[in-house]
């Protein structure tokens, strides 16, 4: 599944992502990058609404789990179990979230656990960065199950 196909899938499965103007920039098992338009996500201060930032980052992590689990079970269900976010600076333009999975050991354990128990957890970090400025940081624990 390429970026365009995943974006269409995402807009169909999670309709709010289309309304938020979410676009998929990169979609691989090691890196997921998504953007959201500022205009449909504005708050009263003309910056990005915190809930929209959180949503984009949550979906970015969800997409990372999906990019990985589809290798072994294309019908797996994925849910967010818990998350935390730090808003570090106001966002006043279209914004981008990125999730990079560099920990091959965690990825391998995730697959092993899923194959053994039909259920596995994966903890991911997602960042929202504008050039060199960290705007928000997010950590979420996702569960994939049959």
Q: What is the pLDDT of residues 28-85, one digit of tens each?
A: 999 999 999 999 999 999 999 999 999 999 999 999 999 999 989 999 999 999 999 9
Q: What is the extent of the structural domain holding 67?
A: 3-145
Question: What's 42's domain CATH number?
Answer: 3.10.129.10
pLDDT at res. 102: 85
Please say whether the beta carbons of 121 and 136 come within 8 A: no
Q: Using pLDDT thresholds of 50, 70 and 90, give the confidence band for residue 92.
A: very high
pTM of the predicted model, to two decimals? 0.94
DSSP 8-state secondary structure symbol assigned to residue 58: H
Number of domains in the chain: 1
First-residue to last-residue Cα distance in the chain: 20
pLDDT of 14 higher than 90: yes
């Amino acid at each position: 599944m390429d970026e365009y196909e995943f974006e269409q899938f995402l807009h169909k499965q999670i309709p709010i992502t289309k309304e938020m103007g979410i676009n998929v920039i990169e979609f691989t098992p090691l890196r997921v990058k998504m953007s959201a338009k500022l205009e449909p996500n504005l708050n009263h201060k003309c910056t990005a609404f915190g809930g929209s930032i959180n949503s984009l980052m949550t979906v970015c992590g969800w997409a990372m789990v999906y990019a990985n689990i589809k290798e072994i079970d294309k019908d797996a269900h994925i849910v967010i179990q818990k998350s935390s976010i730090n808003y570090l600076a106001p966002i006043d333009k279209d914004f981008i979230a990125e999730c990079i999975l560099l920990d091959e050991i965690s990825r391998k354990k995730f697959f092993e656990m899923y194959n053994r128990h039909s259920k596995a957890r994966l903890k991911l970090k997602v960042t929202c960065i504008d050039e060199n400025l960290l705007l928000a940081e997010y950590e979420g624990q996702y569960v994939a199950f049959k």
